[in-house]
């Protein structure tokens, strides 16, 4: 395998919950970059309430990435570029699934660039088997009793079933 690029990158997101598609991007990032910090948004300003708390979301990712020595998970509740500066990260890595992602990601990348032109946004194309997969879709499927066992880690599927049953 080629040598990893020096330095820290962030893989930010809501991760409510983490899917196998996110884990694919995180794993591939860990093969390219020296240190990957998966950062879980904890924003009280967000309109939609999350199914899982930030601590729970962090825990699922830690469990699923424990075998990757250069990956860690942190929660952030400030501006992403500020958090990147705090950690000395020079790049943000995100997955891109389809054209429909492009508009949102274009806006986010331009916003983040305006806030800090030194921090580069890098997009990794989703693996084809995950190009349809989203946390929202998985939650919807689980809400109506669909089988999500090959879309999210086993512990996430079980926790979703429990949490949705409480509602
Ligand atoms: O697609 P997601 O998972 O909702 O993305 C979350 C995040 C933070 C990566 C995206 O919203 C972003 O790039 N935001 C930039 C603005 C920012 O820093 N917001 C602060 C969130 S606490």
User: pTM here?
Assistant: 0.95
Predicted pLDDT of residue 165: 87
Whether ligand 1 lies within 6 angstroms of the CB of 80 is answered as: yes
CA gap 95, 125 in Å, rounded: 6
Q: Give the pLDDT of residue 167.
A: 78
Grade residue 44 by pLDDT with cuts at 50, 70 and 90.
Answer: confident
Predicted confidence band at 1 (pLDDT cuts at 50, 70, 90)? low
Give the H/E segment covering residue 27.
helix 20-32
Six token digits for residue 162: 């429990």
14 in contact with ligand 1, CB cutoff 6 A: yes
Minimum CA distance residue for ligand 1 atom 12 = 108
Locate tokens 């086993």: which residue?
154
Per-residue pLDDT band for 139 (boundaries 50, 70, 90) equals very high
User: Could you read off the pLDDT of 62-110 as tens digits, one per residue?
Assistant: 999 999 999 999 999 999 999 999 999 999 999 999 988 999 999 999 9
**What pLDDT does residue 47 have?**
64
Res 161: pLDDT = 93
* Ordered DSSP codes for 38-89: EEEE--TT-SSPPSS-HHHHHHHHHHHHTT-TTEEEEEE-S-HHHHHHHHTE
Name which residue leads in pLDDT, 44 or 55. Answer: 55
Q: Is it true that the peptide bond before 14 is cis, omega within 30 degrees of 0? A: no
CA of 4 to the centre of ligand 1 (A): 26
Residue 46: pLDDT above 80? no
């Amino acid at each position: 395998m080629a040598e990893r690029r020096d330095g820290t990158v962030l893989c930010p997101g809501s991760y409510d919950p983490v899917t196998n598609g996110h884990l694919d991007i995180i794993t591939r990032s860990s093969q390219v970059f020296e240190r990957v910090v998966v950062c879980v948004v904890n924003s009280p300003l967000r309109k939609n309430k999350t199914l899982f708390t930030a601590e729970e979301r962090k825990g699922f990712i830690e469990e699923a990435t424990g075998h990757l020595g250069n990956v860690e998970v942190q929660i952030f509740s400030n501006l992403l570029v500020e958090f990147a500066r705090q950690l000395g990260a020079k790049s943000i890595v995100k997955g891109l699934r389809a054209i429909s992602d492009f508009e949102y990601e274009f806006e986010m990348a331009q916003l983040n660039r305006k806030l800090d032109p030194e921090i580069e946004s890098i997009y990794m194309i989703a693996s084809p088997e995950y190009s349809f997969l989203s946390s929202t879709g998985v939650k919807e499927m689980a809400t109506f009793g669909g089988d999500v066992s090959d879309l999210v880690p086993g512990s996430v599927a079980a926790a979703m079933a429990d949490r949705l049953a409480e509602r």
